[in-house]
Amino acid sequence: MKGALAALFLFLSLPSIAAAEVSFQRGQLVFETKGGERITFDVEWALTAEQRARGLMERPALPDRTGMLFDFGETRMVTMWMANTPESLDMIFIDETGRIVRIAERTTPLSESIVASGEPVRYVLEIRGGHAAELGLDKTARLVLPLDLPR
């Protein structure tokens, strides 16, 4: 019985252990609106498969103008989900030229439903749910490239 309890404790603590093992470098990215306004975000870079799998799971609400940029390293169809993500997010799907191809607004927390890019993309920026509309960030804005990604 003692061994079973120890195994259960270890199993229940694995998500927090896994979260602690995945670290992210930080940086900035900028969008330019059709009117020429520049919108800057402080982001964590999700560059590896391990980082992209962890994403913003189990994180509290994001402050304004912060987020996580997922770089898939190539242009392809992308699917995301909200499993283990307790706060609503806006998912901004961006192609290799910096064009926003889709904004999935106010995604459902903790949902395992798939959120698809709809067309091939290179990047996905996740920010606080509703924040894209608050900032006036829409499909006419462009991500300023090249990005200064850590490698």
Q: How many helices (H) and strands (E) does the chain have?
A: 3, 9
Q: Which residues contact 51 (CB under 8 A, 6 or more apart)?
A: 22, 24, 45
The residue among 1 and 94 whose pLDDT is bigger is: 94
CA distance 31 to 104: 17
Taking the CA of residue 32 as centre, how many other CA atoms within 13 Å lie in the half-sphere pointing to its CB?
5
Write down the pLDDT at residue 27.
93
Mean pLDDT value of segment 15-25:
65
Write down the pLDDT at residue 20.
52
Write down the pLDDT at residue 65.
97
Residues 76-128 have pLDDT tens digits of 999 999 999 999 999 999 999 999 999 999 999 999 999 999 999 999 999 99
Q: Which residues contact 34 (CB under 8 A, 6 or more apart)?
A: 140, 141
Helix (H, G, I), strand (E, B) or coil at 35: coil
Write down the pLDDT at residue 19.
45
Write down the pLDDT at residue 3.
42
Which of 72, 23, 71, 64 has the alpha carbon at shortest distance from 41? 64
CA distance 38 to 32: 5
